[in-house]
Structure 1
Amino acid sequence: MKVALFGAGRIGKVHAASIKTDPRSTLVAVTDVVSEAAEALAQEYDIAARSPDEILGDPAIDAILIASSTNTHSDLIEAGVAAGKAIFCEKPIDLSLERAHGVLARAGSHDKPIMMGFNRRFDPNFAALKARFEAGAIGKGELLAITSFDPAPPPVDYIKVSGGLYRDMMIHDFDMAAFLFGMPQSVMAHGSCLVDAQIGAAGDIDTAVVTLSYSDGRLATIRNSRRAAFGYDQRVELLGSEGMLQAENVLENTVVEANARGVTSAKPMHFFLERYMRAYGIEWAAFVDACVEGAPVPAGIQDGVNALALAEAANISLAQGQPIEITSALTGG
């Protein structure tokens, strides 16, 4: 399968490595608005740096991987559909839920796989938790708790174009909640700025708790912070009628020191590239499975719309100070 990459930045480089690792896919071209970045990656992989129009118009290219800036995602998905390509796109579809609904409608009749990049679904620990849950290991799920803390906040210039914490950061956790528990009935959001006053001045929050309520009484909580002094904190806890499942942090090493002073272990891995590198490779293999083997797409456009709808509801809830019902008007379903 011949693949072209849109975006030669940090996440684009991660995906380039994943494409190379799978023997069923070959990276043949790259494009980026920063021509120097495209040329550097092209030289590293001995491929061509080409324009978007050249890539989309080349019938020899089977699939495109969209890892460019968020504001390009929806246009490139639609361009990929028009060009008859299989499409893998990093989250989110768009910062506008209305625009995402439009993409969902236009992509509905596409006969090639379209997959959204929610890499945490493919983390071996979270995937194992889901498998045990679905196998009935803890009975009926009742209470889900998702923790996601970054080691440090991003630059304020990034915050200003990110779409806000709920769309940029917590969207992964919204998808994880939907992945494990399905879509909730309502969303109640709380948020404040405790880490960096400049983030608040930019109109965003850096500390947040969201509660998802389900029609059958189940509850899920999501906790986000832009700062955790000890590293990248990524945990899931699921309480059921017959027990509990937990996916703990992945540590820098497995050494435990025990002495008279106490018992200590290593810190969590520093950030997402270290923590989720395996997940990115497994995620790409799942996309190739869909393209080559005809396997189901494990995270499609509707999943992207659902996560964005929960983020939209959280923003409305924060502004209004009340729970927001999740309706078809939000999900497009």
Structure 2
Amino acid sequence: MSPADGMRAGAAGGEELRVGVLGVGRIGRMHAELLHRQIPGARVTWVHDPHEETARRAGERLGVSVAGDAAALLAADDVDAVAICSSTDTHVDLIVAAARAGKAIFCEKPISLELAAVDRALAEVEAAGVPFQVGFNRRFDPAHASVARAVADGTVGDPQIVRISSRDPEPPPLSYVRVSGGIFLDMTIHDFDMARFVTGSEVVTVSAHGALRIQPEFAEAGDVDTAVVTLEHENGCLTAIDNSRRAVYGFDQRVEVHGSQGMAASEDPRIHSGIVRTAGGTCAPTLPFFFVERYTASYLAQWTAFVEAVRDGTAPAVGTRDARAPLAIGLAAWRSLRERRPVPVAEIEEAACAST
């Protein structure tokens, strides 16, 4: 039985997607709240977290069942789909188990820090034929999506140069950096996906430069906190990405495409639209300081798209290829930085194949 076949009729006569959330820490808790309270046609039925108290609090807050382990949640009759929001090192095994259980799958990025492991998980998804979506939520941001549309419909002509700025308000703790895969896999991976999204073209070569300008202790984890990456696409377009772990003025995310017929760009939203003008100048509000504030609309649109795809039996908008390609680009960026040379993405692909 497919996930859509198992969906229960809702109160209004539509189909209701019943979701089990695996991992209810910061990001999982946010997803669970949005799904349960703000996404039409979806409802959280079960939660699980390895930390029992975290799971218990989430279950009480939502009024849903708490599973003692992931297997119990996957075996529940009232779970049509799972949201995998646990730590990255658990994603592959949970995807495999969910696929074998016949559940529709949403998984936070990245699937893994190893390309061969991603391939193992996605092979199970393909074999099971279950819907799969990876959590690159920025594709669903209205401003970023407008840039992609302007390229796709020909408004700006052939894309020639893409500029992406991605700067976080505060660096993460060293404990996170030690296990996250570093800046290119926990932060820039969103920008690698965005570059593919707005150009409509795959990346063939990566050149990366990085420095420690903010958190010198990140050297202990082999990470950098400031980076510039250039990408060469199959269609000849060039993308320049700049990253910083600290932007004191707020959460700064901008995308611009320059094409043969014009340009399209997404600007940062302010925390509100009010301004004050006096003889001394103009005062405007700052940027949102937290990613949830900046991207709430995109998270809602992301979940709506997933629920509709499962309900309608269509392929989710951000599928298995999109789960894999940005990781390969990120691994190429790390090799480029360490070896001080441009790295073809095909080189990373070949290494992954050789390891299996």
Return the TM-score normalized by structure 1: 0.97
| SS across alignment from 2:257 | strand
Corresponding residue of 1:259: 278
Alpha-carbon distance in 2 for matches of 1:5, 1:130: 31
Corresponding residue of 2:108: 90
Once the two structures are superposed, residues 116-140 of structure 1 have per-residue CA deviations (whole angstroms, 9 ceiling, x without a partner) of: 0000000111112212222222111
Deviation of the 1:218 alpha carbon = 1.4
Q: Which is further off, 288-297 or 62-71?
A: 288-297
Deviation of the 1:202 alpha carbon = 2.3
Deviation of the 1:154 alpha carbon = 0.8
**Equivalent AA in structure 1 for residue 259 of structure 2:** G
Note if 1:131 corresponds to 2:149: yes
**Counterpart among 43, 52, 59 of residue 77 in structure 2:** 59
| SS across alignment from 2:176 | helix
Q: Is the 8 A contact 1:170 1:311 kept in 2?
A: yes
| SS across alignment from 1:23 | coil
Question: Among the aligned pairs, what percent are the same residue?
Answer: 39
Q: Is the 8 A contact 1:7 1:32 kept in 2?
A: yes
Note if 1:36 corresponds to 2:28: no
Alpha-carbon distance in 1 for matches of 2:141, 2:86: 23
Corresponding residue of 1:146: 164
Corresponding residue of 2:332: 313
Deviation of the 1:326 alpha carbon = 1.8
Alpha-carbon distance in 1 for matches of 2:105, 2:264: 34
Once the two structures are superposed, residues 100-125 of structure 1 have per-residue CA deviations (whole angstroms, 9 ceiling, x without a partner) of: 12222222222220110000000111
Deviation of the 1:329 alpha carbon = 5.5
**Counterpart among 227, 237, 258 of residue 256 in structure 2:** 237
Once the two structures are superposed, residues 183-205 of structure 1 have per-residue CA deviations (whole angstroms, 9 ceiling, x without a partner) of: 12200000111101111232110
Corresponding residue of 1:160: 178
Corresponding residue of 2:32: 16
Corresponding residue of 1:178: 196
Corresponding residue of 2:62: 45
Q: Is the 8 A contact 1:209 1:222 kept in 2?
A: yes
Q: Which is further off, 269-278 or 97-106?
A: 97-106
Return the TM-score normalized by structure 2: 0.90
Corresponding residue of 1:298: 317
Corresponding residue of 1:208: 227
Q: Is the 8 A contact 2:33 2:62 kept in 1?
A: no
Alpha-carbon distance in 2 for matches of 1:47, 1:328: 47
**Equivalent AA in structure 2 for residue 292 of structure 1:** R
Once the two structures are superposed, residues 134-174 of structure 1 have per-residue CA deviations (whole angstroms, 9 ceiling, x without a partner) of: 22221111100011000010111111111111011100000
Q: Is the 8 A contact 1:112 1:291 kept in 2?
A: no
Displaced runs of 4 or more, over 3 A: none
Corresponding residue of 1:119: 137
Aligned length: 333
Deviation of the 1:22 alpha carbon = 1.7
**Equivalent AA in structure 2 for residue 40 of structure 1:** R
